[in-house]
Amino acid sequence: NRQKALTVIGLGPMGFAMAAVYLSKGYKVTVWNRTASKAAPLIAQGAVQAPHITDAVKSSELLIISLTEYAGMYTVLEPAAAVLSGKTIVNMSSDSPGAVAEAAAWAEGLGASFLSGGIMVPPPYIGKEGPEIYTFYSGKREVFDRWQADLAIMTATDFRGEDPRLAMIYYQALLDYMYTAVAGILHAIALVQSAGIKAATFEPYLNNLLQFMPVLVAESATIREADDGIYNGTGNNMQMLRAGVRHVLHASREAGINTSLPETIFSLYDAVVSKGLPNAGINSLIEVLR
């Protein structure tokens, strides 16, 4: 009954949290980080620090990579290219789907297996359970199946398919929404603050609107119909909505706050109307976005 073992490469907040959780579950954890000193608290918990990346790779069959982006993987692993054959690289870093496809080909060219992972929670959630705590994975099914129980120590797993880009497409699409939504929320706060209203005073109203978002996603046909190109504008059409966005833009200008967001949103709504869809519903925006 061999002790389970893996190597974590990259000890930013995320890699550090992963290594700590595996240690707490009794794994033999080898760690490697460019800035070696970051490993000290993990060594105190029983981790083994590999002096050289080649040792880090040789120590375990499963290599979990958590770097800022994919470029770091080549910088770090190239000196160990000769010992990568037979290893499984699970890259949990963020990047574009194209960068993931290149990395999978690179790893497989060296005789290694490759999975990409897109973690949907910040580091304190690693090792915890909950419906929102999961990671997207993609790559060869048999590779995923071989390591699924080990990967599930970090978060629940959601295998999206064999094309290695798939995990990253889901991941970046959700972050696309999150980054845009957070920017929109903060822009709204800047608007109320310009009138001397505290963000905290505005918060309940914002929360009220956020409660409505699941309704927009789940209960209305708006999103499901986007697949079929059905843009029902009976209740609110693009001509009216374009004027509405223009008013947000003008309010922002009057307030003297940054207008780049409402300008961008206005240009999108305007493009739909210019395309000849003034009576279409809000989901017709997809016509200019795709």
Summarize as ranges the residues that interact with ligand NDP (CB under 6 A): 10-15, 33-35, 38, 66-69, 72, 75-76, 92-94, 119, 122-123
Whichever of 94 and 252 has its CB closer to ligand NDP, that residue is 94
Least distance between ligand NDP and beta carbon 92 (Å): 6
Least distance between ligand NDP and beta carbon 153 (Å): 16
| Secondary structure (DSSP) of the chain | -PPPEEEEE--SHHHHHHHHHHHHTT-EEEEE-SSGGGGHHHHHTT-EE-SSHHHHHHH-SEEEE--SSTHHHHHHHGGGGGG-TT-EEEE-----HHHHHHHHHHHHHTT-EEEEEEE-S-GGGTT---TT-EEEEEE-HHHHHHHHHHHTTTSEEEEEESSTTHHHHHHHHHHHHHHHHHHHHHHHHHHHHHTT--HHHHHHHHHHHHHHHHIIIIISSTTGGGGGT----SSS-HHHHHHHHHHHHHHHHHHT---HHHHHHHHHHHHHHHTT-TTS-GGGGHHHH-
Whichever of 63 and 241 has its CB closer to ligand NDP, that residue is 63
Whichever of 34 and 250 has its CB closer to ligand NDP, that residue is 34
Least distance between ligand NDP and beta carbon 48 (Å): 17
| Closest residue to ligand NDP using C-beta atoms | 12
Least distance between ligand NDP and beta carbon 17 (Å): 8
Whichever of 32 and 269 has its CB closer to ligand NDP, that residue is 32
Whichever of 67 and 272 has its CB closer to ligand NDP, that residue is 67
Whichever of 73 and 188 has its CB closer to ligand NDP, that residue is 73
Least distance between ligand NDP and beta carbon 244 (Å): 34
Least distance between ligand NDP and beta carbon 93 (Å): 4
